[in-house]
Structure 1
């Protein structure tokens, strides 16, 4: 809290609170005392007036029976000696039900007072003192032989009452003022007795804080609570002093440790630089080895394809050679018979028939070999080429399947291609070749392990004007969870030590993301096959050809 926000001090709060308590107590007690005194004075005056009225009433009965009104009034003049009495009226008779009032019989008026005519309501309140601003009156019945024969109305001065009330108020105010002065003096002394040790303690703490001399100690106080506070402050200062000493010792120790650590860090930094340099060189070698292994994987795949195609081409060429050899033998026989002039028409007809059959065999097998060589040539060109070209997607997939026929002939799996034959796009065919080959071989080696007849479905469609979606599914045994999470990492395989390099899917991921600038996602559950979704940008070659034709 800032100094501008401080509005009260202990000194002022103590003074105000104590004086308010004293003032409230004195006002309350004085008011209660004055109220009690005024009530007593009022009661005493009322009793005095009622007593005088009863004495007058006692004599008034005699006046009513034996005297005339003038004589009774003369007798009442003896009341002049009572300074308190102002008016006395004696009534004869009682109020009647028809509304008639008692008649005035005799009256007395003090020389210092004026005559009065009491109201008729005075007969309604009997023996009850009625106070007015400066007077008090009472009505007393006059009884004779158990009945009421008249009334006495007495009015007395209330000056003595007011004088006593004034004296009581003055006395109470004087006493209250004296007590307030005495209370103020005692409060100031008590305030100093309490606040001076607190102010000393506050100044001591401020001075200690400014000088940072935590070895100083506060003096004890005569007040128990403040003495406890002083001891607590001293304990705190002692602990702060001990803490500072420990901190200084720790800082000195830290400086020494920092010096040692700097030397150790410098040594370790030099060693780390050497280790980092060696690690960078090792990492570069690993990258080179990885690129070499990936390239070897591609070349091994191409080598397998060459061997398979060579085997496939060997069969039709062998059949063609056999058929051509038979034709040569038949031609030699016909030529010999022709020269010897022993050639028959039936022999010639048989030769022509066999020649036609052999030529058909030669044609079919040479045509089949030409198709295999053409397909292999296109696949080989695609695998080694990184240039984009117009590709019929269905034809490209069929050529890949044709190049894999030697391997596919050994198994009984079914491959379905669901692609629109008219779907033609501009893209890089080489990466697509390698991707599909790796996926099919993965299904055969891993997905269809211990499966006699599996099914592979390859479909492709345009997602948008410039994106092709290629979907590859099989119904094999799926991929375990621990393998699926890192299927695209290098050297991840379930055939470790059985010929599996673990680079097939890593190569697929690199070809999709780097060569084709696309994305690949995998969904698989163990026992329910796999599904690869490959999306990559292409150009619609059909639209491009139409544009060229229009131009």
Structure 2
């Protein structure tokens, strides 16, 4: 019934839409044709008649019942805002004359539909130019009547078909369910009595006959199994005397299997550590490629500017040697030289900043030593190293960290943690999201504990994934490049490298929040001073 209803509604809607579109087009074509006839005669009216005579001629339009108003304008709209002059008009008896708005001259030759009318504006052309306009407003009552009739007819047919479908469905249901109920009663009776020698009877439905045959085959196999079980029990009683020897043999085999399992597990841990290390180096490799691409642009601009400056110097030198050097040429050379030197300086300085930031991030990722770290500067360096990847998306990253917050900790693990969290948000959290938002904040919880909070407003994490998000090889991108080691690496870096804790709160569709707490030494910031006070 659902399929029938959907099919009828869809087909009826499509049919009504097609009919209404055709009625609408036919009415629009009819009104445009009338307007073209009036426009063709209106050029003659404008040249040879006065306004009153043209009004008398327009009264011949009484024969066209659908026409409600006709207005003939003389002239065209001018740039200073003046509008064409009303030259002649026609309004059938019983209708109220109208004053069309100036907007009718904006859409020429296009039919405009209202609730119960349609209007169109056509130009009056004489000698290859436009000398005026004709505005025609016609009744859409016939269109509305045809639309109403079409809707009533389609609804009536759909209702009749639904009733017929319901009757056929009920008869078909009765035809099918009765044999199914008989088969269900047979199975219940066989289950209660455990009489597996009974067999189901055939029905008048081919598919149910196939099912009954399968049930009979299953009952036969159960019967055979019971017989084999009785034989096996007899054999089991005979084997009880040798049970102790068999248990000893299996115990030895189990010990060998356990030893082999322990060795396999050790190899698995070694492979896992190797894969995690490869994941870190792959992240660093991606960063190298991105920074190299980013540095290439300012260096290329600097080379271009220096080449242009060398060309200008050759030109000045040639003019100087030929004694044709002018003061204006020299002034232009000095101005261009200053501009090129500024370009070279800005781009080389930009490349130096990128390389310096990348060097610090690369050292941090490969180093496990503690150092004094300005948290705000560290996060900004990480974001700078990720800029080649972040430029391809439109996500916003907000950093809320006290610029004076400096702690003594391991920068490498923090670097890798932030990179993995940001890439997880871009790849998983912001999938199919055009513009997401990430917030990173850090503050001292006590004199020797730092709390970092990472949030995004992405899709969140499903319940089945969230419970094991920190397990290895857990990913929603299986077969699409996801290794499933990103969050496992984050967990290991927080708990082992930083000796801290990490907690996750997330609801599907409401983003994620990671809270990371780890010990630090030698903290300096305005917040620390407030804690001591």
Bin for the TM-score computed over the shorter chain? 0.5 to 0.7
Name the CA distance, whole Å, in 1 between partners of 2:252 and 2:317: 94
Q: Which residue of 2 aligns with 1:348?
A: 330
Task: State which of 385, 405, 409 in structure 2 corresponds to 1:403.
Answer: 385
1:465 to 447, 464, 467: 447
Q: Report Cα offsets for 1:255-287 as digits up to 9, x if no partner.
A: x98873332233223222322222222212211
Structure 1: unaligned runs, 5 residues or longer: 1-253, 547-551
Q: Figure out how many residues of one structure are paired with residues of the other and give that number.
A: 292
- The farther-off stretch of 449-458 and 281-290 is 281-290
Decide which of 373, 376, 379 is 2:361's aligned counterpart.
379
Shifted more, 392-401 versus 273-282: the winner is: 273-282
Deviation at 1:449, TM superposition (A): 0.7
Equivalent of 1:276 in 240, 258, 269: 258
Pair 1:515 & 2:494 matched: no
Q: Give the equivalent residue in structure 2 for 1:94.
A: none
Tell me which residue corresponds to 1:428: 410
Structure 2 residue corresponding to 1:289, chosen from 257, 260, 271 = 271
**Is the 8 Å Cα contact of residues 461 and 508 (structure 2) preserved in structure 1?**
yes
Q: Distance in 1 between matches of 2:241 and 2:341?
A: 97
Select which of 417, 426, 430 maps to 1:444. 426
CA distance in structure 2 between the aligned counterparts of 1:328 and 1:371, rounded to whole angstroms = 26
Q: 1:317 aligns with which of 271, 294, 299?
A: 299
273-282 vs 311-320, greater mean Cα deviation: 273-282
Separation in structure 1 between the aligned mates of residue 423 and residue 476 of structure 2, nearest angstrom: 14
Matches within 5 A, 1:139-150: none
Cα deviation code 1:278-312 (max 9, x no counterpart)? 22222122112111111111111111111110011
Report the secondary structure of 2:459's partner residue.
coil
Partner of 2:520: 538
2:466 is the counterpart of 1:484: yes
Cross-structure match for 2:284 = 302
- Alpha-carbon displacement from aligned partner over 1:86-141 (angstroms, at most 9, x marks no partner): xxxxxxxxxxxxxxxxxxxxxxxxxxxxxxxxxxxxxxxxxxxxxxxxxxxxxxxx
TM-score by length of 1: 0.51
- Aligned pairs for 1:173-192 (under 5 A) are none
State the alpha-carbon separation in 2 of the partners of residues 269 and 310 from structure 1. Answer: 61
Aligned pair partner of 2:317 in 324, 335, 358: 335
Looking at structure 1, the residues matched to 400 and 392 of structure 2 have their Cα atoms a distance apart, in angstroms, of 23
Q: Using the alignment, how far apart are the partners of 1:272 and 1:338 within structure 2?
A: 97
Instruction: Give the match for residue 201 of structure 2.
Output: none
Q: What's the TM-score, normalizing by structure 2?
A: 0.53
Contact preservation (8 Å) 2:441, 2:454? yes
Deviations 1:376-397 (A, max 9, x none): 0000000000000000001000
Give 1:344 deviation, angstroms: 1.6
Deviations 1:315-355 (A, max 9, x none): 00000000011111111111122222222211111111111
RMSD of the alignment, in Å?
2.1
Pairing 1:412–2:412 present: no
User: Match of 1:138?
Assistant: none
- Secondary structure of 2:503's counterpart equals strand
* Aligned residue in 2 for 1:200: none
Residue aligned with 2:324, SS: coil
Aligned to 2:166: none
Superposed, 1:169-318 pairs within 5 Å as 260-318=242-300
Larger Rg: 1
**Counterpart for residue 38 of structure 1:** none
Query: In structure 1, what is the Cα distance between the partners aligned to 2:487 and 2:408?
Result: 24
Distance 2:358 2:243 in 1: 67
Distance 1:422 1:268 in 2: 67
> Do the aligned partners of 2:361 and 2:381 also contact (CA within 8 Å) in 1?
yes
- Secondary structure at the aligned position of 2:524 is classed as helix
Structure-2 residue corresponding to 1:46: none
Alpha-carbon separation, structure 1, partners of 2:253 and 2:516: 47
Residue number in structure 2 paired with 1:525:
507
Output the CA distance in 2 between the equivalents of 1:435 and 1:373: 21
Q: Deviations over 1:374-427 (max 9, x none)?
A: 000000000000000000001000000000001111111110000000100000
> After superposition, what is the alpha-carbon deviation per residue over 1:56-86, rounded to whole angstroms, capped at 9, x for unaligned?
xxxxxxxxxxxxxxxxxxxxxxxxxxxxxxx
* SS of corresponding position for 1:522: strand
Distance 2:433 2:524 in 1: 41
Q: What is the CA–CA distance in structure 2 between the aligned matches of 1:397 and 1:416, rounded to whole Å?
A: 10
Matched, 1:499 2:481: yes
Give the Cα–Cα distance (whole angstroms) in 1 for the partners of residues 517 and 240 of structure 2: 57
Confirm or deny: 8 A CA contact 2:305 2:341 kept in the other structure: yes
Distance 2:240 2:331 in 1: 111
Distance in 2 separating the partners of 1:537 and 1:266? 53
SS at match of 1:488: coil
Q: Structure 2: state its 5+ residue gaps.
A: 1-235, 529-533
- Name the structure 1 match of 2:170: none
Q: Quote the Cα distance in structure 2 between the aligned partners of 1:489 and 1:338.
A: 75
